[in-house]
Amino acid sequence: MIPLLGISTLNQIDGFERLINSIDFPVETVSVVVNSTFEYFLEIKKICKSDLVKNFDIAFCPQNLGFGPSINYHIKGYPSKDYWVFVEDDVELGNNDLQQIYDLMKTYDGVFCDKNAEYILFSLNRNMINKVGFFDENLYPTNYEDNDYRNRIAMTDVKTCHFNSSCLHNKISVNMEGGGYYRDWE
């Protein structure tokens, strides 16, 4: 069972619903930060149902926390978890993505989606947080916090890997996405 799946959402109601419907592996807690209006928060609450999820914890934040602070929120809110999985609200999980993460987190400190979109779906454990730290909350609301984190990972001895995801990002196969930065840390 995945201990925690952290999702931050701003305005992707259709994508968020596809994401929740694509959960195909048991999850103890889905932690959702709704960085939007109260009306959007109420819509998100209606969608948060799955037989594979033991608990949904939904928090309302009327302003956009940004990427780094949102990731940190999930970690700080659940410090007793062995690891945390994070996914963007515009991702539809591929078959067995969560199973792959579950299996790989037995060996690695960090598991990242395919090289073109590694921070749309990833997982970090306590050793990663202890050695690399939290995401820099000064990089707001988004951009370059992934580069910063990647660089800090490279300066440590944590074990990371990428996995072959079949997820869709904005309805496009993650394998079809261009750009991004890739470094094989192994």
pLDDT band at 144 (very low <50, low <70, confident <90, very high): confident
Cα–chain center distance at 170: 15
pTM across the whole model: 0.90
* 56 neighbors 48 (Cβ within 8 angstroms): yes
Question: pLDDT value at position 115?
Answer: 66
Region class of 100: left (phi > 0), else alpha (psi between -120 and 50), else beta = alpha
Question: pLDDT value at position 181?
Answer: 33
Question: pLDDT value at position 142?
Answer: 63
Sheet holding 172-173, edge to edge: 91-92, 168-169, 172-173
Question: pLDDT value at position 9?
Answer: 94
> pLDDT tens-digit profile of 39-52?
999 999 999 999 99
* 65 neighbors 55 (Cβ within 8 angstroms): no
> pLDDT tens-digit profile of 148-167?
999 999 999 999 999 988 88
* 180 neighbors 117 (Cβ within 8 angstroms): yes
